[in-house]
Structure 1
Amino acid sequence: MMEGNKKIKKISDLAEILREIRSGKKLVLCHGVFDLLHIGHIRYFEQAKKYGDILIVTVTPDRFVNKGPERPAFPENLRAEAIAALDVVDYVAINEWPTAVETIHILKPEIYAKGSEYKDVKKDITGKIIDEENAVHAVGGNIVFTEDIVFSSSKLLNRNFSIFPEETRTFLAQFSNHYSSEDVIQYLRQAEKLKVLVVGETIIDEYNYCEPIGMTTKDPIIAVKYISKEKFAGGILAAANHLANFCHTVDIVTLLGEFETDEAFVRENLNKKITPTFFYKRSSPTIVKRRFVDNYLTQKLFELHEINDNELDHDQGSLLDDVLREKLPNYDVVVVIDYGHGMLTKDLIKTICDNAKFLAVNTQSNAGNRGFNVISKYSRADFISLNRSELNLEERNRHCKLEESIAHVSKKMSCPKILITQGKSGNIYFDADEGFVNTPAFATQVLDRMGAGDAVISLSSLCAFQSAPKDIVGFIANAVASQAVATVGHRKSIEPVPLYKHINTLMK
């Protein structure tokens, strides 16, 4: 028997080894995450080995495991080591790509073995099993499906090694008893045909990574050493990018600056499906918010805004009003994210409220508008998403009773659906027909909270438009939030396959 760690090779090294030992022998390839090695995996490997002489198992690397921010539970090296300890396995490799397609082309197995759960391609969320099957046929091999007891690593991890508190575990168990993952995901799939317009300001979020080096000797200020810079397409650009991953038609109406527009950067970082309508605010740059960030902790130290937050002048406001009047009736859902920096004047807000078929609104509270940018600027909405502090500002009461305040805002604004996010306390969703539901938070790692609210309103508005059950809206909003806070800035948009896999994992 070969020692376990000597079985672990690079893909390129395996190709060389196979050239020497393969003559007259059949190669069988298995591929997967194998996050928690269990008896189902062992039987799968044993059945796969019966189809040939040499069994190679490739392991999905950590960076491509998209089952949620808390997965994989075990890092790639440990997963490979556990598999290599099995006598039935001849070689193990940590894959270098998201799927097995490239590996199949390099190793050219006679047999590619998958578990029976992959036999029905309609149930494969990624759609990659077809690509892998085509790759096997291209190298002269065949795909086979083993038949045995199927266990789920995710289910075993959730039941026996859950990282969630008791409240969350209880909620997920009850929710999963009431719905299947497809019951939930269907509302996101069905959003593909919706036409969505996003209205609001473009913001360039710039992260300047620094190393604090101490206090200056002459002034009571902190000195930092600059390391690097990263720019993100923020404001409604980020929201539109989330939406464009789920909907075929997403357009934006937004403001850039008359000078220092950063338009090339904006266009380059917009999803290609998005059709933009740009206006250029006079005597203004495109808004840039520069954060200075501790490089080690990813903790923000301070920020600097490059901004003209005066209201649009009358002429520009009239031009924008004409465009909105023409566009608004053509969309199923209009998402307005109001950052309170001067674009959305009283007249434009009235036009939006009068002409949008289904209006989803967030009025964001930030350092530049705190106390002035409240939701009651809008006379109506069909769906509102705010955080708890933004609701408190609307109610002018920092200690307001949550459900009473939500019901009050709903009545005042004739808004039947309101989502209030509460950070580590999850969210509360109100539907005038169904009442309230509380959903605990799913986030297990919070790397950066910036932009989480934009992601939440973007995708939860699609569900609210479809009148999804209240607990499904709350669930999807928190699944989205947990993915959004696990990435730095707007480095990644929310995408269907990782989100669907995350939902599947939560509901195991």
Structure 2
Amino acid sequence: CHGVFDLLHIGHIRYFEQARRLGDVLLVTLTADRFVDKGPQRPAFPEQLRAEAIASLAGVDYVAINEWPTAEETLRRLRPHFYVKGSEFKGVSSDRTGKIGREKQVADELGITLAFADDIVFSSSNLINRYLSTFSEEVDSYLQLLRRRYSLEDVLAVLDRMAALKILVIGDTIIDEYQYCEAIGKSSKDPTLALKYQSSDLFAGGVLAVANHVAHFARNLDLVTVIGGIDSQELFIRQHLQHNIAPTFFVQPQSPTTVKRRFVDGYSFNKLLEIYVMDDSGLGGEQQAALHELLEERLAGYDLVIAADFGHGAITPATRELLAERAPFLAVNTQANAGNRGFHTISKYRRAHYACIARHELDLEVRDRQGDLRRTMEGMRERLGCRAFTVTLGRSGCAVSAVGDRFVQVPSFSQKIVDRVGAGDAFFSVSAMAAALDVDIEILALIGSVAGSLAVETIGNKKAIDRQGMEKYITALIK
């Protein structure tokens, strides 16, 4: 037998008893903590405690913690007569992860009989959600209401539908550079913090990160962006794009590709200093004309155009007007950052079908920090002509306003925050696809919040949000 067995229950015990009756020796292997991908704060019990609990059962002869993500290699090495799974795995083809299918293939190759226990089924995830939740009372209350309104299948079906979307992603290329350092004290001659270099990382950020997120859900997409003629980083960029992205690069000849260099304390991951290497003057006349010619030719053929506008020159006023006029469904995010703050707001777009900005960006747009959130959002949505308008609220979650006086606020699910950089991009990427599918705004908000929660668990844009991770997280919340 093999599984996570996070919360040992009567269903597991009966499963082991049935498996034991098939042979003389019962060996149970556990998924190691590092391979458990069942959502936030999972596993609830570490691998050693899970192994100890199973080893205490009289019918189990041996227990081991698996060294691989699945049981495939374990089956090859042990070659048991029977490999037993629970009855919930009988529909091998319905396993969304594909793991059971691969294990069945190995079992067939080796002549191992794949058997299924047939008894009462309990869900560890459901039991943990009901009795061992690590969420706040606010989040638990929201999830209880959510489970009454939507089934797990309702939400996962939205992810399935994203695959068929024809998508263009356009915006600013940014290379995120992290320089990890140790603070060693004050400089002896100047009032300056002295740092000792430890290591560094480069990540594909900006529109590249957005495209990589989208590529895990849509089968194919096009990317249009601007890179510099000086230190273009084109090879690095191509190597760090998902295989199903078709990029078109326009070159700004006498400019560098934008790099945001952050000096980060290697212990706490606090950011100490940020340096921008960029030229935000935009493309020259000929290149700009070529970009517009390409857009005029292609825009009508997309189901969704995602504008990840960081205000660094890739999308000019004329390009914004063209997108607003020609895109069949335009999703826009305008980020306020140190390089554009006060000069770059969502009102630069005359029209958008979906817009997603942060609360501080909304406050900057309306020049009001104290205004009523719902009323302010409805006003902005009407000004832009949006079907849906989303504002991310950091630790407080997000809010969505939609046509028909619809409004929903969803709490944050984040419990482990490593780095907030890129979380808004992840939220926007996934929620834009949901908006293009015209799904209920509560599902849109849920899907976006899950993407943002996954994004803050990793450094910068080191890892894109993938379909399987989203499904596991959503399953853990709703099951």
Q: How would you bin the TM-score normalised by the shorter chain?
A: over 0.9
Cα distance in 1 for residues equivalent to 2:185 and 2:33: 36
Which residue pairs with 2:415 in the alignment? 444
Matching of residue 389 in structure 1 with residue 360 in structure 2: yes
> Hey, what's the Cα distance between the residues in 2 that align with 1:140 and 1:435?
57
Is the aligned partner of 1:94 residue 2:65? Answer: yes
Q: Write the distance in 2 (CA, Å) between the matches of 1:297 and 1:62.
A: 23
Q: Which moved more, 1:476-485 or 1:306-315?
A: 306-315
Q: CA deviation at 1:425?
A: 0.4
Q: Which residue of 1 aligns with 2:434?
A: 463
Q: Corresponding residue for 1:364?
A: 335
How many residue pairs match? The answer is 479
Counterpart of 2:294 in 1: which secondary structure? helix
Q: Encode CA deviations 1:240-262: one digit per residue, 9 max, x unaligned.
A: 11111111121100011111011
Answering whether residue 156 of structure 2 is matched by residue 185 of structure 1, we say yes
**1:309: which partner in 2?**
280
Once residues 282 and 51 of structure 2 are traced to their aligned partners in structure 1, the CA distance between those partners, rounded to angstroms, is: 59
Equivalent AA in structure 1 for residue 382 of structure 2: K
Verify: 1:235 aligned to 2:206, yes or no. Answer: yes
- 1:273-312 matches, within 5 Å, as 273-312=244-283
Structure 1 residues 90 and 426: CA distance shift in structure 2, 3 A: same
2:162 counterpart of 1:162: no
- Whether the aligned pair in 2 keeps the contact of 1:109 and 1:139 (CA below 8 Å) is no
Structure 1 runs not aligned, ≥5 long: 1-29
Unmatched 5+ residue regions in structure 2? none
Q: 1:153 aligns with which of 124, 146, 165?
A: 124
- 2:449 is aligned to 478
Tell me if structure 1 keeps the 8 A contact 2:39–2:476: yes
Equivalent AA in structure 2 for residue 170 of structure 1: S
Q: Name the SS for the 1:126 alignment partner.
A: coil
In the alignment, what sits opposite 1:132?
103
Per the alignment, residue 112 of structure 1 pairs with: 83
* Equivalent position amino acid for 2:168 in 1: L
How far is the alpha carbon of 1:269 from its aligned partner? 0.6
Amino acid in structure 2 at the alignment position of 1:257: G
CA distances 1:104-151 after superposition (whole Å, capped 9, x unpaired): 111111100101111122442212211111111211111111112211
Letter in structure 2 aligned against 1:483: L
For the aligned residue pairs, the C-alpha RMSD in angstroms reads 1.2
Q: Give 2:325's aligned residue.
A: 354
> What SS does the corresponding residue of 1:213 show, helix, strand or coil?
strand
Instruction: Compute the displacement of 1:502 (Å).
Output: 1.0
Amino acid at match of 1:292: F
Residue by residue over 1:68-92, the C-alpha shift from the partner in whole angstroms, topping out at 9 and shown as x without a partner, is 2321122222222222222222222
**Residues 215 and 196 (structure 1), Cα distance of their counterparts in 2 relative to 1, 3 Å cut:** same
Cα displacement (A) at 1:339? 0.4
Give the superposition deviation at 1:217. 2.0
The 4+ residue runs of structure 1 with deviation greater than 3 A are none
1:211 aligns with 2:173: no
Identity %: 49
Tell me how far apart the structure 2 counterparts of residues 380 and 115 of structure 1 sit (CA, whole Å): 52
Matched letter for residue 342 of structure 1:
G
Q: By how many angstroms is 1:316 displaced?
A: 2.3
Q: Tell me by how many angstroms 1:491 deviates.
A: 1.6
CA–CA distance in structure 2, aligned partners of residues 79 and 256 of structure 1: 50
Deviation by residue 1:403-447 (Cα, 9 ceiling, x = unmatched): 111111111111121111101101101111351001111111111
Task: Summarize the alignment of residues 62-101 of structure 1 with structure 2, pairs less than 5 Å apart.
Answer: 62-101=33-72
CA contact (8 A) 2:95 2:101 kept: no
Aligned residue among 259, 262, 265 for 2:236: 265
2-structure distance, mates of 1:223, 1:35: 46
Among 193, 196, 218, the residue aligned to 2:167: 196
Report the Cα distance in structure 2 between the residues aligned to 1:489 and 1:497, rounded to whole angstroms.
20
Which range moved further: 360-369 or 296-305? Answer: 296-305
The answer on 1:501 being equivalent to 2:472 is yes
Is residue 353–residue 379 contact of structure 1 (8 Å, CA) maintained in 2? yes
Q: Which amino acid aligns with 2:351?
A: R
TM-score, with structure 1 as normaliser: 0.92
The structural deviation recorded for 1:315 is 2.8
C-alpha distance in 1, partners of 2:2/2:155? 28
- Matched letter for residue 397 of structure 1: D
